[in-house]
Structure 1
Amino acid sequence: MDQGQHITDAAPGAARYEPRGAGRRRVNRAGAWAAALLLAGVGVVVGCRAAGRDAVTPVPQLLAFLPWLIAPTAAALLIALLARWRTGLVCGVVVLGALAWYTEPYGKDGGEPAGPPVSGVRVLASNVQFSRGTNALIDTVARHRPDLVFVAECGSPCRDALDRESLRTRYPYRRAVAADGSEGSTILSRFPLKAAPTVAGTMGMPAAVADVRGHAVRLQLAHPMPPLPDQVGVWRTELGRLADAARAARGPAIMAGDFNATQDHAAFRRILDAGALRDAARLTGRARTPSWPSTAPGPLGTQIDHVLVTDDFSADASRFVRLSDTDHRALLVDLTLHG
């Protein structure tokens, strides 16, 4: 018998010869296929990120969690190593390097505004999830005393609670889209407000012009549709309208709320690129701090809640605050308006 072969049972009363190492080669081929599928899936998402395209489902949903795609990429690399698939190892290293590159914060950081400081402005942005987190929001407002409060998904129970006398005294100025469920939104302000055109959307996105120590500051609440599998087109359109609003803004401006998008979405980056807006979390070193879902353990999750400001503002500090009964963390930012 050839020393390179061995007998295996094929059926009762029969035998066949199989080259030594054939089983190992089958395992290697299976491992190579598994690694290739993982790398292909991650590679498509990374390719869309590099091309500046959000593409179609499931790419927009996966882009929201781009940094966490390092896990399947590392798994693919390990499988390729065990399967002795050299091409897969090279591809895996390339994909891993691209992920590391795009994990870096995106957007303008710039320097400090040139003009003298005019006023401190504390901003709180919160999605209270169908009004459920309203009581937690009110407690947070009482504790941190922001000057401007942007509240998404503020239906009639939320508006009624925010009409309490103590809140009316502190925030006498308001602009709202009065609707129930996720469609209602409200801006509360210590500063006098004038009306401004809203941005059209499925959910309410009110706007106003605040008088901050004699300086007109444009305020825009952001709450576009999320990129659900059957709503990606609507999501992209409504983020585009926010980019148009950013492009049209003149002078100091704040755009805040639940953008349902991260820095890895091209549609969100166009908002930053359209005007002079900068991400306050980015300016304060918290560009990757997750805001949703708030129930995710540790660092897991993604940042879809943002406060964007023009370069008339310096960002002094930011923190994400856990609120009960809502799946979003609130974003609290300390700004300084410069003249």
Structure 2
Amino acid sequence: MTRSALRMSPGKLLRGSLMIVSALACVVLILCYTMRPDNFTALTVFPIWIWPAPGLFLLGLAWFRSSGTVYKVCMAAVGLLWLAYILVFTEELHSLARSLLPEQSPPGPALRIVSLNSELGLGGASDLKRHMPDIVLLQESPSPTAVAKMAYEVFGAEAGVATGLDTAILARGTVIPAPLPLVSRRYFTEARVKLTTGIEIGIISLHLQTPPVRVDLWSPGAWTQLRAHRARQRRQMQVISDRIAAMPANMPIIVGGDFNAPQGDAIFELLKPLLRDAFREAGRGWGNTHKNELPVLRIDQVWITDQFGAAEVRAYQTEQSDHRLVVCDLWLR
């Protein structure tokens, strides 16, 4: 080996190492976002689409002053791996593409659900009335008196209301609250709703525990704290899942609200035996809901049973809340 070749070896070694690190990072992220393990919650609470930037940056450094056909083929393969990651896992691309397709009218009786974290009622009736809902799922709801007033503004004399300690259900029809333990009423409200159209539905409006904000991924404490938070949310979701399972088997069910968890999180596995995410089926446009001005996560969601078809789901900016509201158009099959 010549002295010139020896002088080049450290650079080649560095570029090769950067390429391998980029490839391994992509594989680890694919596994994490596919399996959502609790020990990696600190990674998966972030939007899926932020990670290609550092991965491709490393790949770009590896490409700089590179030479050799085999080496460039390997680089291209790693680039294609990142591209596949983006196309497969980035939900926002799917919903934006779906918004280019022609809109379809519901083939059955239409039903509009609106879910809103009202930030203690600040973004209340004005945001709701604009979208003409049949049922409203409210989180961070104000006092029962204020909720009743809001329901009357939206639905008039036909309004029905069920309130919890932090959530509420409003509807155009009769709302029969389900009795719940005090600890459950702190994060969800359950009711049976009979609309003026005669449709009867089981409804849950929920607001799961708010996660800690940790971006210091170099700290073991961040990983421990977010893993513990996932466990607490899973316990809350298990209670809700048990309530869903106890509802009549033939009853249509809608569960929605502020899950305080990103789309695809592991806690949603507890809903999947009976329900499905309406946005995954019919979401259009930019579906993220938090925060209102620059939403990067879809923590506000609506889940439905098979008795419903989803025609369209969109997120809309609100006037005062720090969340966008979710408008979900359904039909009964």
Q: TM-score, normalised by structure 2?
A: 0.74
SS at match of 1:274: coil
Aligned counterpart, 1:189:
171
Cα 1:82–1:190, aligned 2, differ >3 Å: closer, same or farther? Answer: same
Confirm or deny that 1:163 pairs with 2:162: no
Aligned counterpart, 1:110:
none
Structure 2 unpaired stretches of 5+? 96-106, 213-221
Instruction: Give the Cα separation in 2 of the matches to 1:253 and 1:71.
Output: 40
Confirm or deny that 1:225 pairs with 2:209: yes
- Per the TM alignment, residue 244 of structure 1 is displaced from its structure 2 partner at its CA by 3.5
- Per the TM alignment, residue 152 of structure 1 is displaced from its structure 2 partner at its CA by 0.8
SS at match of 1:173: strand
- Per the TM alignment, residue 121 of structure 1 is displaced from its structure 2 partner at its CA by 1.9
Cα 1:81–1:197, aligned 2, differ >3 Å: closer, same or farther? Answer: farther
Confirm or deny that 1:68 pairs with 2:50: yes
Instruction: Give the Cα separation in 2 of the matches to 1:232 and 1:198.
Output: 23
Instruction: Give the Cα separation in 2 of the matches to 1:79 and 1:202.
Output: 53
Asked if structure 2 preserves the Cα contact closer than 8 Å seen for 1:123 and 1:148, the reply is yes
Asked if structure 2 preserves the Cα contact closer than 8 Å seen for 1:196 and 1:208, the reply is yes
Which of 131, 136, 158 is matched with 1:149 structurally?
A: 136
Aligned counterpart, 2:234:
236
Letter in 1 for 2:33: R
Confirm or deny that 1:121 pairs with 2:119: no
Cα 1:28–1:302, aligned 2, differ >3 Å: closer, same or farther? Answer: farther
- Per the TM alignment, residue 149 of structure 1 is displaced from its structure 2 partner at its CA by 0.9
Confirm or deny that 1:206 pairs with 2:194: no
Aligned counterpart, 1:331:
326
Confirm or deny that 1:176 pairs with 2:163: yes
Q: Where does 1:87-98 land on structure 2 (aligned, <5 Å)?
A: 90-91=77-78, 93-98=80-85
SS at match of 1:194: strand
Asked if structure 2 preserves the Cα contact closer than 8 Å seen for 1:162 and 1:168, the reply is no
- Per the TM alignment, residue 99 of structure 1 is displaced from its structure 2 partner at its CA by 4.3
Asked if structure 1 preserves the Cα contact closer than 8 Å seen for 2:313 and 2:328, the reply is yes
Instruction: Give the Cα separation in 1 of the matches to 2:81 and 2:41.
Output: 24
Asked if structure 2 preserves the Cα contact closer than 8 Å seen for 1:66 and 1:264, the reply is no
SS at match of 1:122: strand
Q: Where does 1:308-327 land on structure 2 (aligned, <5 Å)?
A: 308-327=303-322
Instruction: Give the Cα separation in 1 of the matches to 2:59 and 2:269.
Output: 30
Aligned counterpart, 2:63:
81
Confirm or deny that 1:286 pairs with 2:269: no
Aligned counterpart, 1:109:
none
- Per the TM alignment, residue 154 of structure 1 is displaced from its structure 2 partner at its CA by 1.5
Letter in 1 for 2:265: H
Cα 1:248–1:72, aligned 2, differ >3 Å: closer, same or farther? Answer: farther
Aligned counterpart, 2:260:
260
SS at match of 1:136: coil
- Per the TM alignment, residue 124 of structure 1 is displaced from its structure 2 partner at its CA by 0.7
Asked if structure 2 preserves the Cα contact closer than 8 Å seen for 1:43 and 1:95, the reply is no
Instruction: Give the Cα separation in 1 of the matches to 2:145 and 2:49.
Output: 37
Asked if structure 2 preserves the Cα contact closer than 8 Å seen for 1:322 and 1:329, the reply is yes
Letter in 2 for 1:50: T
> In the TM superposition, what whole-angstrom CA distance separates every residue of 1:127-146 from its partner, at most 9, and x where no partner exists?
123x1xx3433112222221
Asked if structure 2 preserves the Cα contact closer than 8 Å seen for 1:209 and 1:216, the reply is yes
Letter in 2 for 1:236: R
- Per the TM alignment, residue 235 of structure 1 is displaced from its structure 2 partner at its CA by 2.0
Instruction: Give the Cα separation in 2 of the matches to 1:90 and 1:201.
Output: 50
Query: What RMSD over aligned residues (CA atoms) do the two structures have, in Å?
Result: 3.4
Aligned counterpart, 2:33:
49
Instruction: Give the Cα separation in 2 of the matches to 1:292 and 1:303.
Output: 7
SS at match of 1:163: helix
Percent of matched pairs sharing the same residue: 22
- When you count helix as a share of all residues, which structure comes out higher? 2
Instruction: Give the Cα separation in 2 of the matches to 1:48 and 1:188.
Output: 38
